[in-house]
Every structure is written in structure tokens, then in C-alpha cells.
Chain A
Amino acid sequence: MTASRRQGIALVVLRTLIGWHFLYEGYYKLVLPAWSTAGAPLPAWSAGGYLRAATGPLAPAFQLLASSSLAGWIDVGVPIALVLIGLSLMLGLFTTRGCQGAVLLLALFYLAAIPLDGVARPGAEGTYLIVNKTLVELGAACVLLASRTGAIAGLDLLRARPAPATPLQPNVSG
């Protein structure tokens, strides 16, 4: 297997993993309110809490969004966008658009909560200064966007394939 082929496979695997992450995040938010398997109710999802807890230089703008008339649209739009992006990346369909959407959303998520204090936060699974897992995933999505993986594997290959020539119709007019 050539280096180029190995890289192609790795990029498609990376795209699939990020796609699954987006798809499940969106699905989970859409299915709420729901119940955990342990029997506890899970309330409906809202971006409000995340936006109100925004930190960093753009925090005021995000907090303003939380209290604006757009809040309801955000609660609906974000999960749908996550699902669509996830499907795009997993299926390799409209891959470039999907990667662009992923980069945009991840950038917004990162900018809303830039880790500048460098200490562990309650509930967080790690300790971060400037670079966190959202930024790493953003970087990975940028790599996918630059690599045009839809041309390696996925339904985009079908879209790009030229349509078969229309067979000549037999002359039936006699």
C-alpha cells in the first residue's frame, strides 16, 4: 500500500469519526427531553446555558445571543446543523460543505469558551490552556477541508461521476 493510499484511508477514517461525533451530538439534542437508561429524566436541550457561561473576549456577544429573540432558533438550528454535518462527513456527501460547516460550528464553540485560565474546571475531563479538544477537532476539520476527502471515498464520488451517455433511441417511425 502506498503512502498516499494510507493517508487517504486515515483521512476518511478521521472524517467518519468526526462525523459520528457531530451526528450523535445533534441526535442527542433533538431527542431530548428523554430518559437515561438508569431511569432519570433528561430535560430538553437548550444552548442558553452554554451561551450564558461563555468566557473570553467574545463572551458578551454570546451572552447577548442567549437573551435575544434568536435563542429559540439557536436551540433548534444547532442540533439540526450538527446532524446534517454529521451525515455529510460520515457519508462523504457534499463533503466540502460539511467540512466548512464543521469548521464554522467548532470555531464558534471554541470562541465561546476559550480556556484562558489554565486550571481544571468542574466537570471537565482535562486541564487546558488555549488549546482544548474543541480546538484540536477544529484543526482536524480544517485538515479534512483542505484534503477534499470526498474525492477519496463517499457518495460524492457518485455525484462526480459523469452521467452515462443516453443510448440512441431506435427509429420507430418506420
Chain B
Amino acid sequence: MHLTPEEQATGRRNFLRAVAGVPVLAGLGAASLARGPIAGGPVRIGYIGVGGEGRVLLGSTDKAYAHVVAMADINPAQLAVADGVLEKGGHAKATHYSEWREMIEKESLEGVVIATPLWTHADIVVGCLESGLHVLCEKMMAWDVEGCERMRATARRTGKVLEIGYQRNYSTVYQAAHEGLVKAGVLGDVFLARLAWHRNGNWRRTGDPPAANYDPSKWGYPSWEHLLNWRLYKKYSRGLLAELASHQVNISNWFFGAEPEAVIGTGGIYRFKDGREVDDHVYATFEYPGGRTAVFSTIESNAFDRNYEVFYGTKATLLLQGESEAYLFEEGTATPSAARPTGIDVQPKTAGPALSASESRAADAAGRPATGGAAGTSAERLAAYRAEVSGFCSAVRTGSPLLCGPDRAIGSAVACITAVDAVAGKTRLPIRIGPAVQS
């Protein structure tokens, strides 16, 4: 969504004025009246999966909070790159493993950070929890509802920490917006949220296998192409709904204080008919209790709108853009005509597929508005990642509250898994989340 410079200044000023003085992290600081320090050094963790997203988390790991003891990845080339990330962060060298089970058996770990392809989440998370480890698992929670439920049940039974990596929950911008605006009723009644994630790229990665005779079949991938581009195949991935929408539905669930009851979907493979199995254009409408609706769209043919969440209230509109920018407009102060993208230049699309890291990073969109303030946006996003990993370690060591534990994360996961089916059938489906979801 594009705003004029005047609208940006006004919206930002309104937002800051509205959230001034909000004790964003007060909950984290709540403590008993008299209590000394809690013994223990940095949490001893291992990384399972150090591809692009794993390395973002690895680079966001503060050595005061965590000691990275070991890393496991089925691709040795990823481990070599991860060594550089560790060194850059001032960490000592970690032991390498190709098998995560061997890592958790041999190393003295307290927790693991999991950033592997979606279809593996449930088995790895459950295996680690059963082994007595705390887990920070990258989103989405699991490939299917059964996997989500299994993860949540195991976390409850073992009493171990299970945090799902939706970094927006750790963003001070989102926390301030929720505490200072949504909870305070500044927006009035909100009946519509618009969730958009628009990119202009084919999402296909290119790269050579780590060795000529590298065979990923023993891990379930029939070819190197399937491992490299697992996001494009249904066996391993839930496509754009898992990689992008689940972030934003997680936010609408948080801000609405509810989970959606039904979803209407449509979409398809309209542009990149290159053998992929997941859609490149997806549109989903999530129906919440009380007549509230979140409308999500993601397209891979135009990056003009980038990504944003907008909450339209009877008193004001809140725009959260690019994971870091926040704007507030009181009803009647921003005219529709003023919101036209007049005078905003758009950089030409950069060539090539997305090569690195998180699907939630703007770089993957292969197209970016010149006025986006990419450096500041990136810094804010990385700060959220850093807070996420540190928050996980704090929860392990001190029992500080989770910001996106399984009870919250499962709402977004089940909604998006159901949306995959709704899009495939171009139909409306009820969303059935287990009764224990409400937290």
C-alpha cells in the first residue's frame, strides 16, 4: 500500500502519539516481589536446518542468551555457510551433523531451533520434545492439522517450551499497536482486515548440489530439485498460504482476539506453469466471529503493494507495512484520493529468483518501492528475529511467557491448512480448531 510522504508523516505521528507510554514488554518484566537471580549460563542449543531461514535465526542468536553447540543439516554446503554466520556473530565453532537424531543423542543440549521444510516439522519437534529438549520451531507449525495437534499435545505432556517462529509477535511495532491501539479501543470496532503479500518473482531457486553424487532420496526427496525447491511441491509444502499468509493470519487472530470460523478461497497456478504444484496466485477470505473478516491476497506477478496488514475500524485505520512501518489514520482524515501512489517511483524488477532465506523478507519479492526504507525495515525485522530467539532462551531458563506458543500458533496453522483446501476447491470451508486452542 502506497502513501504520499505527507500521509506517511501524519500516519506515523498519529501512531506514535497513540502508543506513547505503552509498556510494551511489561508482561515480560513481571516478577515476584523479592527474588534473586536464576542460576545458569547461556542456553545450550542446537540448530536443525541451517538453510536460508535457519541462518537468519542463527545470525540473530545472541551469545549472551544461547551457546550454539551443534548444527544439523542434510546439506553439508549449508553447514559450511552457517559456520561463517556463527563466526560473524562471535560464536565458537559448532559441531556438524547430517542427522538431527544423532545430534540430540550425542550432544548435551537444552533446546533446539528447527528451520527445516514444513513437512518435517511435526516429527522433528515431537522427537526433540520427547527427548527432553525445548523447541523453537520456524513457522508454519506443521504440514497438517494432525501434526499441529501432535506437537501441541507433546509440548503439554512433556512440559517443555514450544515456541513457533512468528517473529512479528516479537516486533515492538506490533506489540505497541496491539497494546496501545487495538486493546485500548482506539480503532473502534474493526470489521475488516486486509492482508496482502504481493511479489513479482517465480519463487524458484537455483543452485548446485553439494556434490555431484549427492543423493537426497534417503531423506524423502527424489531429486536435488525437490530438496532445493521444496516450497513448490505439495508433498513438502503448503505453498504461499503457509509461507506468507500464516504470518498475517497469526496477526489478525492476535488483533481480533479470535480464530476464523470459515474460509473462502480461490487461486491457481496462473503465471508460472513450470511444473510446480503450489499456486502462484492465492486469494482467501477468513470469516471471524462477530461479522469480522480478513481478506488475504498474494500474487507473484506484481510487487507494487509489497506486504501489509490493515485494520479498518469505525474510529481509525491502522496500517502495518513491511513488518516495520506503522501508520494510524483517524476516520475522515485521510481521503481516498490522497492515498493514490502519486509521485512514488518503483524500481524495476531485479532479475532472478529469490535465492536466500525467509519468504517473509522483502528481498524475495524481487521488486521493491524506492520509498520503502529497506535498511530500516530490515533492521526492525532482524531485531524481531533477535528478540524471538532471545525470548525463547529466556522462556527456557526463567519461564518467561511465550509470545507465540502452540495454542496461539495452531490457530493460524489450521486456518491456513484449511484455506489450502478451500483454494483448491474454490469453495467455502469451515475451520475446525480443537477446543483447547483458546489461551
Q: How far is the CA of A32 from the CA of B391 in the complex (A)?
A: 20
Chain A residues, CB < 8 A from B344: none
Interface residues of A in 15-46 (CB under 8 A from B): 24, 27-28, 31-43
**Cβ–Cβ contact B40 & A38, under 8 A:** no
Interface size on B, residues (CB 8 A): 21
Chain A residues, CB < 8 A from B395: 39
Chain A residues, CB < 8 A from B40: 33-35
Chain B residues, CB < 8 A from A28: 36-37
**Cβ–Cβ contact A42 & B31, under 8 A:** no
Task: Tell me if B29 counts as interface (CB < 8 A to partner A).
Answer: yes
Q: How far is the CA of A22 from the CA of B59 in the complex (A)?
A: 41
Contact with A along B30-58 (1 / 0, CB 8 A): 01100111111110000000000000000
**Cβ–Cβ contact B36 & A31, under 8 A:** yes
Chain A residues, CB < 8 A from B217: none
Task: Tell me if B4 counts as interface (CB < 8 A to partner A).
Answer: no
Q: How far is the CA of A36 from the CA of B35 in the complex (A)?
A: 9
Interface size on A, residues (CB 8 A): 16
Q: How far is the CA of A22 from the CA of B90 in the complex (A)?
A: 36
Chain A residues, CB < 8 A from B393: 41
**Cβ–Cβ contact A39 & B37, under 8 A:** no
**Cβ–Cβ contact B391 & A39, under 8 A:** yes
Q: How far is the CA of A128 from the CA of B428 in the complex (A)?
A: 73
Chain A residues, CB < 8 A from B391: 39
Return A118 CB to nearest CB of chain B, in Å: 34
Interface residues of B in 7-37 (CB under 8 A from A): 28-29, 31-32, 35-37
Chain A residues, CB < 8 A from B394: 35, 39-40
Q: Which residue of A lies closest to B65 (CB)?
A: A41
Chain B residues, CB < 8 A from A24: 36
Chain A residues, CB < 8 A from B37: 28, 31-32, 34-37, 42
Q: Assuming A31-B37, A37-B32, A37-B37, what are 4 further A-B pairs, CB within 8 angstroms?
A: A32-B37, A35-B37, A35-B394, A36-B37
